[in-house]
Structure 1
């Protein structure tokens, strides 16, 4: 009987070894979906058109600029990275449908470069069920950070960190106390509102007024009316570029000139374009530095990004959003490199957690751990000046 068991185990071992050398074998697929001998498949769902299309398109272009560069050099351990992309229009149900398709039909190894809070938060149950990594989301939502999730890899600083830094600047440096909040009425806006409330609390302050708009609309007039009536000295804005630009333009036309502060998701470059010659005090916090390289700011990571963006997307202008996508791709690639040739989802996560103080050339070291899945911490302040947002080092 013992001899029979040994023979059976030997046969099974031989079968498994044979499976290891056959990329499309069912056992290999179960252990490492999306991995073949010469390819790693990852999937993305984000807005490629509509009212948030600029954000999704630029995030994707920045990421693909680096990935195409890596592929042109032969890929990672002999495997090129293939990115399967679906447009969700910044619509949560479409994002869920796309993600199900990526996991079940396309059998991707990981999810990558998702965009937006209301969309990304909705896929978390799918991530947990499939135990699939999701890497580099263009959102600072707290729900992606707490509670800790082994399969969620955030790269950027959170909205709580952005609003916390902004409130400190408004209250301590600009000596403003009457602060209102204008926000998108969904998970994104609620997260920004809560972050602002938390940041105001130590100063004994609360928002003097709040105003909202519905995602996908430009119905900002009622929110503006409520905030103007409060006599706010500053407005924290948690929205996207079109409604925020309209709010600021209408405020300016009505002679209402507080400090306007926006979180990074607004899309600063597109906001500046839409504002045109509007002359108001406008601040946007960023989670990456401005991509332009000057004689006094030789950030080699930003310079590398500009060179590769010009090579692969020559029609695009360097901007904050695509630089963030580019950095997301560098994190994905670093994890794949460290995981080695014998790649699976668990070894990939372990490899990400092994990254400590990695210099990406953006004046902000990248670090992860088993208990901390947010790689970058720094918040940068930019101010509208001559039609563009300029970095002032705080």
Structure 2
């Protein structure tokens, strides 16, 4: 009884306090939404809520994820919706800031009359809302993050589509060591849940190979201050650097490390945002830059062979967002929306949250065209397992089938070298 009183008081405060004033909420506590406003389903609409960075240093990732998803949602709505209901997405900007994401989600749950949460972007932001999701039993689907904490322990209300960061970093480290023969590997990471996830994934695989990072360097989320992390890594002369960050600080690190004379393979996770990373790098880099992806670049010649829906994404993006350039981030958002709609269709016209999750769990060997399929089950809420690799060539990332091709045009292997950190360009 006492807890219900506290919960009621909290809900009343949230009703009275504007969203901007809720950013101090901790997120470590779970709340019961006894007076929840509704289930977000009417005869004509299905309402979804999303919080993602639409401004700030990760805004490219948020905007492309959102526009990719909306490209498919708009197409579905034009063709009658799902069982006669249009999908309405209430997307709110969190600037890649966990407290803002938490406040947005609280507002969506209490006042937004939403059926489910969809299309969140980022590990530190999405991880912050997990207690709310579990307590309110609201489905959370299609996040642009490979965080292990969204997969273990298993949560019935969390539905991942993409491969995990452990899978990305694990596959990359195996290639670096076994295919390229590199042993001196450093890790540069964002100092938060996202960076720790990538760091742990790299360390686990290195340990299995009898190795450990020769250096670890980090930076603070929301900044481009890579000086300390760069210095730590340059001192150890690595042959490869596993990079777990966003496009601006990672580009700053690569540019300064290259200028300082470090010859190494710079490997980046998919979350970095490849297109924006390239835009910030010089054209005369001396070392290869590698990017892992969980979907192929949509305009790559190989894309239709891997997943034919890449062509649908390109066509729908051109129709609904004609000024946008197709990219892998947007394709992920598009596939997330495709899974969402398939689940809604299977759930039938009498839509409930539990019925929706049951429907998602029936999706098995669901073809995206080409060689890619999506499968879920009551014990497994991650739909795809694939990891692809691409290398930067002539101002764009190109898929590579043989990882050894990474060094085909480089003399990097075995030549790790470093100058002092303050020689690495602008501070």
TM over 0.5: yes
TM-superposed CA distance for 1:32, in Å, is 6.5
Residue in 1 aligned with 2:413?
A: none
Q: 1:85 and 1:372, CA in 2 relative to 1: closer, same or farther beyond 3 A?
A: same
Q: 1:296 and 1:202, CA in 2 relative to 1: closer, same or farther beyond 3 A?
A: closer
Whether the aligned pair in 2 keeps the contact of 1:31 and 1:344 (CA below 8 Å) is no
**Equivalent residue in structure 1 for 2:179, among 173, 184, 190:** 173
Residue in 2 aligned with 1:284?
A: 291
TM-superposed CA distance for 1:364, in Å, is 1.9
Please identify, of 153-162 and 248-257, the stretch whose mean Cα deviation from structure 2 is larger. Answer: 248-257
**Equivalent residue in structure 2 for 1:306, among 294, 310, 314:** 314
Q: 1:346 and 1:218, CA in 2 relative to 1: closer, same or farther beyond 3 A?
A: same
Residue in 2 aligned with 1:139?
A: 145
* Normalised TM-score (structure 2): 0.84
Residue in 2 aligned with 1:274?
A: 280
Whether the aligned pair in 2 keeps the contact of 1:293 and 1:302 (CA below 8 Å) is no
Residue 45 (1) aligns with residue 51 (2): yes
**Paired residues for 1:1-394 under 5 Å:** 33-279=39-285, 280-294=287-301, 297-298=304-305, 299-361=307-369, 363-394=371-402
Secondary structure of the corresponding residue to residue 120 of structure 2: coil
Q: Deviations over 1:242-284 (max 9, x none)?
A: 0000000001111112100011000011111111414230111
Whether the aligned pair in 2 keeps the contact of 1:32 and 1:343 (CA below 8 Å) is no
Q: Deviations over 1:22-52 (max 9, x none)?
A: xxxxxxx979700000100000000001000
TM-superposed CA distance for 1:222, in Å, is 1.3
Q: 1:342 and 1:296, CA in 2 relative to 1: closer, same or farther beyond 3 A?
A: closer
Task: Give the greater-gyration-radius structure (CA).
Answer: 1
Unmatched segments (≥5 aa) in structure 1: 1-28
Secondary structure of the corresponding residue to residue 67 of structure 1: helix
Q: 1:295 and 1:199, CA in 2 relative to 1: closer, same or farther beyond 3 A?
A: closer
How far, CA to CA, are the matches of 2:353 and 2:149 in structure 1? Answer: 22
Whether the aligned pair in 2 keeps the contact of 1:184 and 1:212 (CA below 8 Å) is yes
How far, CA to CA, are the matches of 1:292 and 1:143 in structure 2? Answer: 32
Unmatched segments (≥5 aa) in structure 2: 1-34, 403-427
Aligned-residue RMSD, C-alpha: 1.4
Q: Deviations over 1:307-343 (max 9, x none)?
A: 0000001111000100000000001000000000000
Q: Deviations over 1:92-141 (max 9, x none)?
A: 00000000011110120000000000000000000011100000000000
Q: 1:317 and 1:143, CA in 2 relative to 1: closer, same or farther beyond 3 A?
A: same
Q: 1:216 and 1:94, CA in 2 relative to 1: closer, same or farther beyond 3 A?
A: same
Whether the aligned pair in 1 keeps the contact of 2:191 and 2:220 (CA below 8 Å) is yes
TM-superposed CA distance for 1:363, in Å, is 3.0
Q: 1:277 and 1:362, CA in 2 relative to 1: closer, same or farther beyond 3 A?
A: farther
Q: 1:223 and 1:30, CA in 2 relative to 1: closer, same or farther beyond 3 A?
A: closer
Secondary structure of the corresponding residue to residue 275 of structure 1: coil
May I ask how many residue pairs the two structures share in their alignment?
366
Q: 1:360 and 1:31, CA in 2 relative to 1: closer, same or farther beyond 3 A?
A: farther
Secondary structure of the corresponding residue to residue 58 of structure 1: helix
Residue in 1 aligned with 2:424?
A: none
How far, CA to CA, are the matches of 1:87 and 1:278 in structure 2? Answer: 36
Residue in 1 aligned with 2:27?
A: none
Whether the aligned pair in 1 keeps the contact of 2:304 and 2:370 (CA below 8 Å) is no
Q: Deviations over 1:290-314 (max 9, x none)?
A: 1015389544211111000000011
Whether the aligned pair in 1 keeps the contact of 2:94 and 2:101 (CA below 8 Å) is yes
